[in-house]
Amino acid sequence: MTNENQFTLSDHDEATKTLTEAVTGKIQYLQTLAKAIDDQDDRQVYELINSKKYSDEILHARHGAQDTENEKLVEDIQPKISAFLSQKLIQYLNEMYPFFYFEETAPGNFQFYFGNWWGRRLFGTVDVLNVEFHFDKREYEKLSKAFELEYENKRLNSDAIERLSKENERLQSLIDSQDERDQQKEKLRAQIKAVSQEKVMPWESSKQRESKQKLVDQLSHLTELDEEANDAYRTIRDNEETVLALSKEDTLIGYEKQSIVSKFGNFENFEAKNKTLYRDYIANLIAAEK
């Protein structure tokens, strides 16, 4: 009689074969990676750690082979792989982007500055495993905007500097016209006093109040200008410091623009190079193998 509680086990021989093949596949993957590292074959290392990207970018295969399961085996040592791959990559980047200065913050981790001049900007980080720049968004947008403004014959901070300069002219005028306002206030006070003391008929009292209020409003406006003038010296100084900082930034961005134009011809070519960096670098590694 058959025991209904007994379940059927899968064929043990088949399970053994499947497991052996899976383990062998992982061992072969790791052995291939180890050999590529030992041979200093950076190209193959890139292919092994990200088969999809390599297939898409280099082989241009629509349905390229992916080995994501085996690639997971080395996820925990990615920092070490990055450190290994960084030597040749940074050398390549130094040649292609001579205006970027790279700084290793940890093994395999790099940030880079734009230029070697005083006040240079920290411009981003390098993704060694994917051969990508991660630009500082704010700094990159400033550079991009500066190139756009060339068509208007402007620099990045031209409008802000002009606005602050005009504001300082207005504030200085307030300071210079203090004596004139004092005289106007004296006249207004005298007029207010005269209107207040003037005897009028009851039906004219409304008109008298309106006349007095207009004079009071004028006096209040002059008093507000006096208060603004009292703070004007500090505001002018602050504005001058801001203008100086903006001018320095325009100068630095000018250096950056010159560097890009000197190497790439224009900003569009620079951006195009950034987009094809992985493909170009792998092609460089392939060429070096021949």
pLDDT tens digits for 190-202? 666 665 656 644 6
Q: Token pair for residue 275?
A: 């987009």
Task: For residues 283 and 180, give the distance between their C-alpha atoms in angstroms, rounded to a whole number.
Answer: 75
How much is the pLDDT for 68? 86
Q: What confidence tier does 9 reach under pLDDT thresholds 50, 70, 90?
A: low
How much is the pLDDT for 244? 97
Pick from 69, 239, 248, 88: which is nearest to 168 by CA? 239
Report whether pLDDT(7) > 60.
no
> Percent of the chain scored above 70 by pLDDT?
80
| Domain coordinates in residue numbering, the chain | 13-77, 83-139+268-289, 151-264
How much is the pLDDT for 165? 96
- The DSSP secondary-structure symbol of 290 reads -
- Mean pLDDT, the chain, as a whole number? 87
Which residues does residue 104 pair with via DSSP β-bridges, in sequence order? 110
Q: Token pair for residue 30?
A: 């790791």
Q: What angle do CA 111, 115, 116 make, to 5 degrees?
A: 100
End-to-end CA distance of the chain: 72
Task: For residues 59 and 217, give the distance between their C-alpha atoms in angstroms, rounded to a whole number.
Answer: 78
What length does the chain have? Answer: 290
How much is the pLDDT for 59? 87
Range of lowest pLDDT (58-62, 137-141, 177-181, 271-275)? 177-181
Q: What confidence tier does 251 reach under pLDDT thresholds 50, 70, 90?
A: very high
Q: Token pair for residue 81?
A: 């792989």
Which residues does residue 132 pair with via DSSP β-bridges, in sequence order? 127
Give the residue with greater pLDDT, 225 vs 64: 225
Span 104-118, average pLDDT: 96
Pick from 277, 283, 254, 284: which is nearest to 124 by CA? 277
